[in-house]
């Protein structure tokens, strides 16, 4: 390795998660497992994106408890709050402040093309609010404040990162060099986990059907029960195939939690029925999640320690966010 690389500062990565429900196995296998790995290689900023959660209706007491529990789960997974910046988005007011500057530099037309807005407004026709519409601008602010080199993205978030990049480039062209234009980071491994009740849809924590998702904090009994009820087909062969989305999803899950290849899984269950397979998936998932739940139970008991950590996290985040925000304000022409 050349000397230049040895001395180079680690690249910066930013990632957020919404406390819009109980974090699921999908969040874990698709994103959080990678967060834990990324902290070894990058300078990471991780946020609990609570402001985003209220784009759909949240019951106040439940929201508060979900924010605590999401933060505690990050710690229980092994994310180190000393090494990284781990904070709650609403504790850093520069997110909403910068989002106003960005909103005034974002066109109505480009926001109208966002597929997530179309999906979520179709799902909640009684609450098509302005926040839901402008959500990607707040997300652009979340990202651009911290000047990350990379933002990990799943397929569903690609469009939002693209708009954040477009906004950054436009702003820089107009006002000068303010924002770093982030690159997408495609993690080495990241499974897309589908609903256990409708394998055509992704597993989502806000799905009203509780049998469709497995929460990271579910008990072993609940996990096994949910897998037993998982929708499959009548073919009774454990094989990955496009016309077997339910079984394929279970194979993906089993392979992700056991680190076995799909071929190994298919071999292991050759000649066995779906009952045996579903039980094995449930048990393997429960075994993977049990130590996380155990650490979580310890962490959540000590609210004072948790408060100290998220406040320190907010201070670290704000130090960076303020600098970017005031630079942008100054360049736009505000009197500071």
Q: Which residues bind ligand AQP (CB under 6 A)?
A: 17-18, 20-21, 24, 26-27, 30-31, 49, 154, 156-157, 192-193, 202-206
Smallest separation, CB 41 to ligand AQP (Å): 18
Side by side, which strands form the sheet with 85-88? 85-88, 43-48, 12-17, 150-152, 183-185
Catalytic, out of 11, 33, 158, 202:
202
Q: Residue 57 or residue 267: which is nearer to ligand AQP going by CB? A: 57
Token reading at 324? 């970017």
Smallest separation, CB 247 to ligand AQP (Å): 17
120 is catalytic: yes
Q: Residue 231 or residue 237: which is nearer to ligand AQP going by CB? A: 231
Smallest separation, CB 327 to ligand AQP (Å): 27
3-state secondary structure 236-271: CCCCCCCCCHHHHHHHHHHHHHHCCCHHHHHHHCCC
Smallest separation, CB 311 to ligand AQP (Å): 23
Q: Residue 18 or residue 45: which is nearer to ligand AQP going by CB? A: 18
Catalytic, out of 120, 226, 244, 278:
120
323 is catalytic: no
Residue nearest ligand AQP by beta-carbon distance: 30
DSSP per residue over 85-122, as a string?
Answer: EEEEGGG-THHHHHHHHHHTTS-HHHHHT-HHHHHHHH
Residue 161 half-sphere exposure, CB side, CA atoms within 13 Å?
21
158 is catalytic: no
Catalytic, out of 11, 33, 118, 205:
205
Our measurement of the distance from residue 308's CA atom to the centroid of its chain's CA atoms, rounded to an integer in Å, reads: 23
Q: How far apart are CA 239 and CA 126, in angstroms?
A: 41
Residue 86 half-sphere exposure, CB side, CA atoms within 13 Å?
25
Q: Residue 121 or residue 172: which is nearer to ligand AQP going by CB? A: 121
- Which residues are part of the catalytic machinery? 120, 202, 205
């Amino acid at each position: 390795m050349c000397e230049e690389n040895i001395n180079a500062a680690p690249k910066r990565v930013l990632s957020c998660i919404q406390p819009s429900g109980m974090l699921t196995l999908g969040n874990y296998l698709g994103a959080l497992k990678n967060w834990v790995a990324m902290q070894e290689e990058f300078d990471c900023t991780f946020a609990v994106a609570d402001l985003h959660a209220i784009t759909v209706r949240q019951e106040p007491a439940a929201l508060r408890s979900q924010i605590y529990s999401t933060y505690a789960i990050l710690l229980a997974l092994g994310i180190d709050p000393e090494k990284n910046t781990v904070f709650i988005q609403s504790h850093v007011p520069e997110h909403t402040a910068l989002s106003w500057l960005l909103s005034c530099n974002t066109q109505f037309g480009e926001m109208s093309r966002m597929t997530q807005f179309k999906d979520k407004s179709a799902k909640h026709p009684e609450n098509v609010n302005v926040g839901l519409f402008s959500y990607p601008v707040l997300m652009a602010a979340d990202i651009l404040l911290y000047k990350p080199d990379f933002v990990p993205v799943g397929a569903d978030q690609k469009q939002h990162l693209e708009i954040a990049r477009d906004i950054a480039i436009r702003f820089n062209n107009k006002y000068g060099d303010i924002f770093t234009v982030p690159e997408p980071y495609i993690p080495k491994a990241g499974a897309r986990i589908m609903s256990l009740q409708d394998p055509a849809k992704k597993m989502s924590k806000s799905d009203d059907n509780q049998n469709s998702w497995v929460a990271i904090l579910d008990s072993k009994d609940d996990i096994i029960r949910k897998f037993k009820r998982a929708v499959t087909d009548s073919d009774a062969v454990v094989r990955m195939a496009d016309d077997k989305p339910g079984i394929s999803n279970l194979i993906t899950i089993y392979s992700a939690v056991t680190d076995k290849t799909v071929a190994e899984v298919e071999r292991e269950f050759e000649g066995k029925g779906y009952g045996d397979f579903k039980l094995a998936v449930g048990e393997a998932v429960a075994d993977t999640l049990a130590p996380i739940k155990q650490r979580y139970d310890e962490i959540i008991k000590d609210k004072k320690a948790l408060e100290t950590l998220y406040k320190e996290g907010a201070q670290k985040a704000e130090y960076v966010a303020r600098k970017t925000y005031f630079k942008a304000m100054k360049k736009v022409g505000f009197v500071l």
